[in-house]
């Protein structure tokens, strides 16, 4: 096992998808850490990060199971690499998603009260 690593874990709402065919096939997934903001003329997901799927079977599974607005939990690795064109800019840090789990209840994104957090911490300390 390598001594050094860079990894991420994210829980958020799928804000956008872009399937690229060149230079190699990959799926770009924008994930927002906040639920969609409603309102006329507003960007529903102003704060988001882009994650990349490059494994063909993981891409197919993702496209078959996940839709815009779904909540997911994902993990993977990241590295700074060559520039990848994206819309009017370039991305130089690739967050490579290695696996994900679709969260069936988007209500879980609603922030809990401090009492719930304190109870969760208490239970963790018991184990």
Task: Give the pLDDT confidence of 77-121 residue by residue, as tens digits.
Answer: 987 766 667 677 776 667 889 999 998 765 555 555 677 667 777
Q: Residue 77 has which token pair?
A: 């690795």
What domains are there in the chain, each with its CATH number? 7-126 (2.40.50.140)
Alpha-carbon gap, residue 81 to 79, rounded angstroms: 6
Provide the 8-state DSSP code for 37.
Answer: P
Q: Give SS3 for 122.
A: helix
User: How many angstroms separate the most distant Cα atoms in the chain?
Assistant: 51
Task: Give the pLDDT confidence of 11-60 residue by residue, as tens digits.
Answer: 999 999 999 888 789 999 999 988 888 888 888 998 899 899 999 999 99
Termini Cα distance of the chain: 28
Predicted local distance difference test score (pLDDT) of residue 91: 67
CB 52 within 8 A of CB 82: no
């Amino acid at each position: 096992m390598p001594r050094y690593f860079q990894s991420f874990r994210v829980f958020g709402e799928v804000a956008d998808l872009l399937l690229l065919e060149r230079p190699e096939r990959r799926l770009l997934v924008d994930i927002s850490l906040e639920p969609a903001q409603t309102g006329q003329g507003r960007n529903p997901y102003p704060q988001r990060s882009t994650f990349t799927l490059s494994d063909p079977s993981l891409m197919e599974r993702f496209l078959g199971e996940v839709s815009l607005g779904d909540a997911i939990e994902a993990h993977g690795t990241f590295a700074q690499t060559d520039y990848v064109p994206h819309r009017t800019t370039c991305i130089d840090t690739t967050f490579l998603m290695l696996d994900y789990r679709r969260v069936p209840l988007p209500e879980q994104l609603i922030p809990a009260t401090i009492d719930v957090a304190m109870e969760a911490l208490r239970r963790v300390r018991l184990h």
